[in-house]
Chains A and B, each alone.
Chain A
């Protein structure tokens, strides 16, 4: 018989928790108090920087964030000892306080550094900032002195269904608000500090274990979760007040995300390393461009856009089949090299088909500019619209179209993942020879993964051409393929949420932090190395991947399988 660990066993096995120092709790309360008081005082002498932190008793944005963090710490402290202990029996409050204390201290240090660099030197830092810093440090120290607690199993926690659904809605609203707020910050330091704050709060919530509860709630109401995520994404343009800057970035993120999702089928599910994937996006873009009514378009046929989409995706998928048929028989490193070569061949071909070397199809290195806005069924994507008193510009129009696209891509991905085909892909990834002996059509399924991935990228490309209003060969360099791959690895191979998160991070940061973009390769290299060391399964790990990197963990293995059974029962 196997011995499956239950929470009860675990509690009896683990050593008795060390009693904490009696001073820890009051110390934490004092830290919270100092943090709040400090945040109401002036942080900076200079009122011009960081959205004005200079006025006493009138906290600016960054100060409000500090106060929010302090309130969160207060809740955790009260869960430790005080009126909220009932909550504390579920939450691992101590770990949360530690993360929050250390994180807020880091945040305050960065604030001081920011004030120092933005104005002239640390002389401009007012006492309020130091008071808050001391408060954060006190909180961190108290966290280390508080006793570690025994946890009840979060997965057993249940709330009435309506309140769980409400919780999802509130969380989603918070996400929308945070995204709108962070994107609205104009100066780089404020944006970085805001990101640091979000990361700190997220880490602290993970440490308390409340995220695993949220995860279970999400699983129980997965439809509600998906729907509300889309509602939030849909509402995003309404928070932007007609500003094009952020909407244009959001569109870049969506195109990048949809493409990464397509690559995720090839890499994450079938386990094939494709280093030239951006060429498929390019094939879709170029198809849409030459079939558009641009003055530089070289093909006379001007079909409606829905036809263009299918043609573009079809061209892309055909290229996928052409490149896949000879190369998918080789595996691993060879496939990577061949696809890398294919990506470069595509770029050079697009640059050379200019009438001097062969037929004029792509207008050579100049590309095809002046691609007009889409017009589907009389709706022109270039027009502005007023909806409920909020102006929605050109980029918002494309945003909604791209949202539909990414929804479609996600649908295709998840349907394939949970199908017989998906099972075949898993088998190929795990052991190709054994899969073949099981009757899995290895070559056929690999080719299918390649073609479907290419099809989806081509689809995204057709919209991208109109969104960007121009195509040129240098948009499709190798580095773009590398970034797509990085988004998948960073976010979590084979997952939906992870890859979207990875794509957002990789596209958003360089856009928002211009000074950072010069060092972005350096930074991403560093980021990936750190990820491989500390969290090889990616930010959002599929449980199976986690198992791959932590094979000795039998408990995790059982959990993985139980989860799968729950999902299957739900179907």
Chain B
């Protein structure tokens, strides 16, 4: 059985500058896989390329046995690959409910959408309480919940989260990370991009360390957590 998501020798360039240099990794069904690395390591670029927002200059991306590196972004969503972008990118002037409904834009089963809306409110009760409120009035953590809820609305098989903990308080971050585990338990495969290596690796079945556009290290989350060079570079220990 091949992996759910398979990235082979991916290359992405902004003009002449190579941001991602031949990276390869894979995500198995049901796993939480995390990509960690510092600013500029190419994590966000990789996610954007997988979801079709950017075009690769080389390499291949396979999702559920089909090649998707030149499929349009909206088609990729329809195939069950959701992307919760960096900086959350919620629609600040739209209400919570409208935001969530836009997450389900690719679906055409109103009944299922309605029950998933309820599921999102169950997962994050605060969203249900404020379903009429414009999302821009929310705190960072609440916006992150909304962004995750919104991404879940397309019933993804694979959910890509780009720095969900960015700018959050430790409590809120813990909450978000618990939700990641919860979603995994419910059967969603997750590709998690994080700068907060400790939090990400603790939950990850497998991890890849990116440095200036290359995978420099990979292993199970537990192994990476105790790896000396990871500890030095990302966990702030000497």
Contacts and interface: CB of A to CB of B under 8 A. Distances in A.
A186 to B, nearest CB: 48
Given A2-B130, A2-B133, A433-B53, A438 B102 contact: yes
B129 interface: yes
Contacts of A558: 132-133
B114 interface: no
B176 to A, nearest CB: 19
Interface string A382-393: 000000000000
Nearest to A548: B93
Contacts of A438: 77, 102-103, 105-106, 150, 154
Interface string B72-105: 1110111000011100011111110110011101
A559 B210 CA distance: 47
A437 B132 contact: no
A187 interface: no
Contact of B89 (A437, A444, A548): A437
Interface residues of B, number: 34
A420 B89 CA distance: 20
B58 interface: no
B105 A423 contact: yes
A431 B133 contact: no
Given A433-B53, A557-B133, A561-B133, A439 B105 contact: yes
B93 A551 contact: yes
Contact of B85 (A437, A444, A560, A564): A437
Contact of A426 (B76, B83, B94): B94
Contact of A2 (B101, B106, B129, B136): B129
A78 interface: no
B51 interface: yes
B59 interface: no
Nearest to B96: A561
A420 B74 CA distance: 15
B89 A423 contact: no
A568 to B, nearest CB: 10
- The CB with the most chain B CB atoms within 10 A, among A424, A435, A439, A440, is that of A439
A434 interface: yes
A551 B136 CA distance: 9
A544 B93 CA distance: 8
A427 B136 contact: no
Given A2-B133, A547-B134, A434 B90 contact: yes
Interface in A542-560: 544, 547-548, 551, 554, 557-558, 560
A548 B93 CA distance: 7
A439 B78 contact: yes
Which of A1, A427, A444 has the most chain B CB atoms closer than 10 A to its own CB? Answer: A427
23 contacts: A424-B102, A426-B98, A431-B91, A433-B53, A433-B89, A434-B89, A436-B73, A436-B74, A437-B53, A437-B84, A439-B76, A439-B77, A439-B106, A440-B74, A547-B134, A551-B93, A554-B133, A554-B137, A557-B133, A558-B132, A558-B133, A561-B132, A562-B132
Given A442-B74, A547-B134, A551-B136, 11 more contacts: A423-B102, A423-B105, A431-B89, A433-B89, A434-B91, A436-B53, A439-B78, A440-B105, A441-B74, A544-B93, A548-B93
